[in-house]
Structure 1
């Protein structure tokens, strides 16, 4: 019996060590009180619809699309006369728009709100599958339909609607507010956001924080959580694409060598896909898990609260689905494979492009070393274009003042939502502003269902009239919260 007691003590202590943090993880934090803001849903919907009808497809050297962006700027002037009378406006580069709403207290650091004017093109082959034409701006069945409703004119129009409404009430901010609207985000932001950021830096502007698209309020994406989840992203993954080249003697297909250029490159891609970069928990994802824990079943709370013991299990579970796998590792995605010109001719060269989205903490140099080691074939040339590469952002503190203001605003406008930090798995214009702000956050204040995620850059992009009205409410409250004492 004495020996059983001796064995029971460490078991009991281990149980207490596991259960105490689990019980703490089940206690929700206190929340801000809801705020009611009256808006004209129908008028707001028509204003966004008008913006959607202008096809501001991202410009290219061959198709600069100047007329569309000029028309869009003119529409903003017409729809928001108070904003254009009270705010300073600079046109940067060709079509970048930078608004400044001066605050009354010059000692307060400004806040920077971003959105982008451009949208992705629509594939001609997909047109028959659209219920409403991509640039119709139809308001039907409770939705505003068209390219840009979700990405990203919804944010832009909601912000200016909020400014216009506050000016109509006589509101004047204590903190200076900047609104930066690039026009080539979908092609890298090198002319829009990058040039606007350079102007801000030249003027000595340094914001308390910046906010751009990237997070959202989702429901049904995490099956175990019934409540809406408001993901305020505190970091952004990096971006790099490596070109892989294999060379071989060409010739007639009737006399092929043992290994062709295509076969050699295919082997390299197979090796690379079979060797993903290691999974690990970063600060934004750990914070997300901690915030979700009170809403999860006991077994999952136990694993989250005791990551020192269950980290391997957690990572394995998160890696099972593409959406959560992207949160825990640098992802590997072959996107282009190009070789050959005729069915009876052996190609002398085969080319592939593999895109990687870098987890914070992994560098482009790390990924390059991984690619070379995984392929393990000196005959394969590995190279990348530095102009099309971006390191991952540093992690922002979810306990900082910017996050606290955003959290408070979410709780006031979306009282049923759980606020969590997170990680942007794509890329946004916000990365260009790193030198002109203390902290960065990605968040779009609208509810998205699981199927809405497929509509972004896809068919039948739309936003509900109700959710667009909530976006305007959010920005009205946010613009006041950032100036609150």
Structure 2
């Protein structure tokens, strides 16, 4: 054997040894026994209370003048009637527009408070899709083991489950050691500018600095992550940023029978095509790296080798994760053309055409980075590029998954859902949590409900529903979280 061949073989042996050693030294997946006596929950009564809240159509519309504030009035009254102990023991403030801020004063005024978030508003039902619903979208029907209707998953389920947990703890004589804030926004689905933003400003003005906040965003999924059969409880430690850019092309108008070589529509189409063809580069962030560390022991051998040797295989791993929309969103700032507008008649050349492209920013990328990327990729001085809309936000800071706050959330998941693997990750959408940056030390996103692959389309889609037993788990989670975070030591 030639010397170079011997060196190559030796090199392969060394690499194989390193890969095998790294794979063997992945952290073992944790298993947990349910040793905690779980909260007793009246499943029938609690399901009926959520159903009643669903029947009140607290819909957010982009045009705020279309919002029926009377529905939010009705929901506030409904909550007061159905959770009397909560409304007797906690201070409730109703902000302009309908947002609700509850304060549960703790025994120790020096202890840092915690902040638990949810929202009352829901998205509209897309016109023409009503017949796709097995049960009408605001029926609140309880059938086939599910509670049906808009808001069951996003996000009245969380809000009412939180109140169920508080009501039950109060009935048991529980008083928290630290103050707990419950903040329920009324316009999360349209940006939270009048709800969460104002509640956050009010808390800041009072000098509130919560040890941690918890909002929707993560969930318990099963069958969603390739190669992992067990349920995965994703406690998100960061949230992607949000910005939309408008691309505008202008040209001389005229008759379509004598078109010039360049038109507004053609120029715009070329720009959008370039942007979509060249996405922003992918990479592994710390939250995703930890997610892979936690889930790797449950994966097949070939994937474990990839996970354990990211120093060598990161480009391959990023490429593999880029193959599906769900995992691609975890490794890059996403590019989504969402609006195209041009023309008034088929034989008239438009003088203006524009497109809106939405970006969700990976931690580490900024709005300025996205704009620079657009200008570089489009490379056309005739295309105007400007931020569109008002929902501009940078990616959130990354919270520590080794903190005491994360440990409390993880402990609660292990108690209530002992079969689930606890992981980290990044919220790919936008939540109210981003508005409270000035009033918390750490922020996390987790919704304690089970999603299977077929459930992902139900959020903002047809047939939104939650299983009654899954809802019971949500109530237990919030009650035990409060006990773990604010019980007397």
TM-score (norm 1): 0.97
Alignment of 1:302 onto 2:305 = yes
Q: CA offset at residue 157 of structure 1?
A: 0.2
Report SS of the residue matched to 1:335: strand
1:409 maps to 412
Report SS of the residue matched to 1:392: coil
Structure 1, residues 130-187: CA drift from partner, whole Å, max 9, x if none? 1111111000110000000000000000000000000001111112111000100000
Structure 2 residue runs of 5 or longer lacking an equivalent are none
2: CA distance, partners of 1:32 / 1:102: 33
2:45 maps to 43
Report SS of the residue matched to 1:277: coil
2: CA distance, partners of 1:370 / 1:470: 44
2:171 corresponds to which of 168, 173, 177? 168
Q: CA offset at residue 19 of structure 1?
A: 2.3
In structure 2, do the counterparts of structure 1 residues 62 and 5 end up closer, same or farther at CA, with 3 Å as the change threshold? Answer: closer
1:281 maps to 284
CA-based RMSD: 1.7
Asked if the contact 1:32/1:408 (under 8 Å) is kept, the reply is no
2:191 corresponds to which of 171, 188, 192? 188
Alignment of 1:216 onto 2:222 = no
Q: CA offset at residue 28 of structure 1?
A: 2.2
1:264 maps to 267
1:396 corresponds to which of 376, 391, 399? 399
Report SS of the residue matched to 2:210: coil
Structure 1 residue runs of 5 or longer lacking an equivalent are none
1: CA distance, partners of 2:384 / 2:299: 47
Report SS of the residue matched to 1:114: strand
1:329 maps to 332
1:20 maps to 21
Report SS of the residue matched to 1:303: helix
Q: CA offset at residue 79 of structure 1?
A: 0.5
Structure 1, residues 344-383: CA drift from partner, whole Å, max 9, x if none? 1010111110001111100000000000111111000000
* 1:104-253 map, 5 Å: 104-253=107-256
Report SS of the residue matched to 1:209: strand
* 1:368-379 map, 5 Å: 368-379=371-382
1:55 maps to 57
In structure 2, do the counterparts of structure 1 residues 7 and 318 end up closer, same or farther at CA, with 3 Å as the change threshold? Answer: closer
1:320 maps to 323
Q: CA offset at residue 9 of structure 1?
A: 6.4
Report SS of the residue matched to 1:125: coil
Structure 1, residues 439-475: CA drift from partner, whole Å, max 9, x if none? 0000000101111110000001000111001100111
1: CA distance, partners of 2:334 / 2:416: 35
Alignment of 1:85 onto 2:85 = no
Report SS of the residue matched to 2:81: helix
Asked if the contact 1:93/1:195 (under 8 Å) is kept, the reply is no
How many residues are matched?
A: 485
Q: Which moved more, 1:421-430 or 1:37-46?
A: 37-46
2: CA distance, partners of 1:358 / 1:312: 20
Asked if the contact 2:31/2:418 (under 8 Å) is kept, the reply is no
